[in-house]
Structure 1
Amino acid sequence: MSNQPTVAFDIDERFSQVQYLDVDADQAGQRIDNYLVARLKGVPRTHVYKLLRKGEVRVNKGRIRADYRLKAGDLVRLPPLKVARKAPPKQLSQGLGRVLEKAILFENDGVLVVNKPPGLAVHGGSGVDLGLIEALRQLRPEARYLELVHRLDRDTSGCIMVAKKRSFLRHLQQSLRDKSAGRGGIVKVYQALALGSWPKRLARVNAPLLKLEQNGGLERIVKVHPEGKASVTEFAVLQRYRDYTLIEARPITGRTHQIRVHAQFKQCPLAGDDKYGDDSANRALQKLGLKRHFLHASALEFVLPGDSSATRVDAPLSDDLAALLQLIEAQKLPG
């Protein structure tokens, strides 16, 4: 007998009848399987593929494969669906709602740039009830489309982009790929506090990074390894202190934990980093009020669709990091 919990299924009011969906120009170009997964919240991906195989989902009255790419003007037929009964999502608190409203640094009809507070995951799951993207969707219930353009670690504060149109998401994610390939694209700027004295001539780290899983896949660890993916970060010194160096980091590629691991690789791990840092130094910093790694996405520079010039958005240091810098200001070194 199976020990797996029984999953209850209901007819969701949203999907209780046959639906016909018109594909607009902003939705064109995406695969039908991804289109369906994004719209059928609560329907397992495996069930989406089953519907496609059986021909229950049709486009322009015909059967299609999962890799079919939608065109503007296509008509998608959805059958009545059963979805898993789920607990209602955690509601956005008034306090967090006010924080996020004040944290919006830039907005137009296609994109939001938010100064993400530290401690807030970018999306829910894995024990996180409410992430940034879910909170923004509740904050802006009238928005038809809100999707993350990129990600930040939970404890990293600062600039993060959220697309309000799929056309902007495609454009910005292509810009990120262009940046990794050395063809311009989005410029990401971070401020970080490194332990020790950052080498004077160290302006670029080019070291491949390999991502590993631990604890049954529940934890990710990244290390420099010849079999890893090409990874490049540019660094500059902003201020030297007796025991620390405030640095600027500009990742050229976009690997997981890239800045943190490259700093560790050069024997200057980030202050407060509990995964790649120095435990003894971190304990001392905790007494000064640092409860996370000192890494802040301080600026983004990007060109939006239809624009000829770049837009730059800056995010001031969060209060906890600014307070720490004030405490160590007396340790500033000349030059």
Structure 2
Amino acid sequence: MKHKILPISIIYINQEMLNQRIDNFMHNRFKNVPKSMIYRIIRTGKIRINKKRIKPHYKLKIGDVLRIPPIKISYNLKNTFFPLNDAKNLLNSILYEDNHLLIINKPSGIAVHGGSGLNFGVIEYFRKLRPLDKCLELVHRIDRETSGILILAKKRSSLVSLHQQLREQKVKKEYIALVHGLWPIHLKKISEPLLKIRLQNKQKIVLINPKGKPSETCFQIKKKFSSSTLLSIIPKTGRTHQIRAHTFHAGHPILFDKRYGKNSLDANIKNNININRLLLHSYGIHFIHPKNGHNIYIKAPLHADFKDYLNNMI
């Protein structure tokens, strides 16, 4: 049995919460917490409304400010219906969390959501692991093979705010990729329209096509090796597989990309540590916090396999 202490929560009572008794409100919000514990923290004054003690029968009013103290909850990973190692890896991958957002450093190989033969993705894992979070939604997506930053919203209002920022291109994402060949110094931007098509084997692929959606990706060389280049990449638009399709179009596919890469090139690369993952990582993101309006920058360190591969090339 594992335990976690939830941080202090400050809740502003709105129309949806109006006239609920505080004890019933707490029971509904913390279903896995014993009722005796909830009544105890109300009775001892640890739960405050407008900085004052209240009784269990107090009915919530619009404008009330509810303060909930840290609460210890239990969860049992053995009772989940997904791989234990994946669950542990995701719990250890949290980069940032508050009452509005949950940001993780997603490992390569885990999809962001279930489907296409997968029972579980990141969002399903966290909904199982965080049953007290009533709203838990993906803010954006990254490919299953790609590692790095993934944002989950814990409130509907946060989801709406960040989606608006994405539409207005106020969110800035930064990636690192290792590509085949020596990237040309002059090639700093690719602006080619991308069209999503479905192949005969039902696999989706994105190709350069005049009928596609406008797409733009910026590139900066970080380091050149003998037969590959480490790039810093900033996608100005957020099309499916955009970085992978643009690097492939440039003749410099990302290493070990099974969809847009070249097996012949991958076979010729020294791979002493037997890595078998796409070498593309979402390492930084800038956005405006949906609640307090602060500028936020989150950075996700490279995972050990990617880092070891780079170190092995030196």
Distance in 2 between residues matched to 1:98 and 1:272, nearest whole Å: 26
Could you tell me which residue of structure 2 aligns to residue 166 of structure 1? 156
| Pick aligned residue for 1:156 from 146, 159, 171 | 146
Contact 1:90 1:130 in 2 (8 A): no
SS at match of 1:293: coil
Change (3 A) 1:230 1:143: same
- Structure 2, unmatched stretches of 5+, are 1-13, 18-61, 63-78
Tell me the CA shift for residue 23 of structure 1: 7.5
SS at match of 2:210: coil
Can you list the C-alpha shifts for 1:139-190, whole angstroms capped at 9, x where unaligned?
A: 11111010000111111000000000010001001111111xxxxx111110
Could you tell me which residue of structure 1 aligns to residue 190 of structure 2? 205
SS at match of 2:308: helix
Can you list the C-alpha shifts for 1:275-333, whole angstroms capped at 9, x where unaligned?
A: 1112112224484322121100111111012434311111111111111101111xxxx
Quick one: which amino acid aligns to residue 244 of structure 2? Answer: R
Tell me the CA shift for residue 92 of structure 1: 3.6
TM-score, normalized by length of structure 1?
Answer: 0.68
- Structure 1, unmatched stretches of 5+, are 1-21, 26-71, 73-88, 180-184, 330-335
Quick one: which amino acid aligns to residue 291 of structure 1? Answer: N
Could you tell me which residue of structure 1 aligns to residue 205 of structure 2? 221
Contact 1:115 1:158 in 2 (8 A): yes
Could you tell me which residue of structure 2 aligns to residue 260 of structure 1? 244
Quick one: which amino acid aligns to residue 167 of structure 1? Answer: S
Could you tell me which residue of structure 2 aligns to residue 328 of structure 1? 313
Quick one: which amino acid aligns to residue 146 of structure 2? Answer: T
Could you tell me which residue of structure 1 aligns to residue 285 of structure 2? 300
Could you tell me which residue of structure 2 aligns to residue 278 of structure 1? 262
| Pick aligned residue for 1:177 from 152, 167, 171 | 167
Distance in 1 between residues matched to 2:118 and 2:227, nearest whole Å: 35
Pairwise CA RMSD: 2.0
Matches within 5 A, 1:1-335: 24=16, 91-179=81-169, 185-215=170-200, 218-285=202-269, 287-288=271-272, 289-329=274-314
Distance in 2 between residues matched to 1:115 and 1:197, nearest whole Å: 28
Change (3 A) 1:313 1:150: same
Tell me the CA shift for residue 201 of structure 1: 1.5
Number of corresponding residues: 240
TM-score, normalized by length of structure 2?
Answer: 0.73
Can you list the C-alpha shifts for 1:233-264, whole angstroms capped at 9, x where unaligned?
A: 11111111110000011111110100011111
Contact 2:127 2:133 in 1 (8 A): yes
Quick one: which amino acid aligns to residue 128 of structure 2? Answer: Q
Can you list the C-alpha shifts for 1:183-215, whole angstroms capped at 9, x where unaligned?
A: xx1111100001111110111111100100113
Tell me the CA shift for residue 90 of structure 1: 6.5
SS at match of 2:92: helix
Distance in 1 between residues matched to 2:194 and 2:188, nearest whole Å: 18
Contact 1:274 1:282 in 2 (8 A): no
Change (3 A) 1:129 1:306: closer
Range moving further from structure 2, 271-280 or 114-123: 271-280
Distance in 2 between residues matched to 1:148 and 1:193, nearest whole Å: 27
SS at match of 2:257: coil
Contact 2:173 2:286 in 1 (8 A): yes
Contact 2:173 2:235 in 1 (8 A): yes
Contact 1:90 1:129 in 2 (8 A): no
Distance in 1 between residues matched to 2:121 and 2:291, nearest whole Å: 31
User: Percent identity between the aligned chains?
Assistant: 38
> After TM superposition, where is structure 1 displaced by more than 4 Å over at least 4 residues in a row?
none
Change (3 A) 1:290 1:95: closer
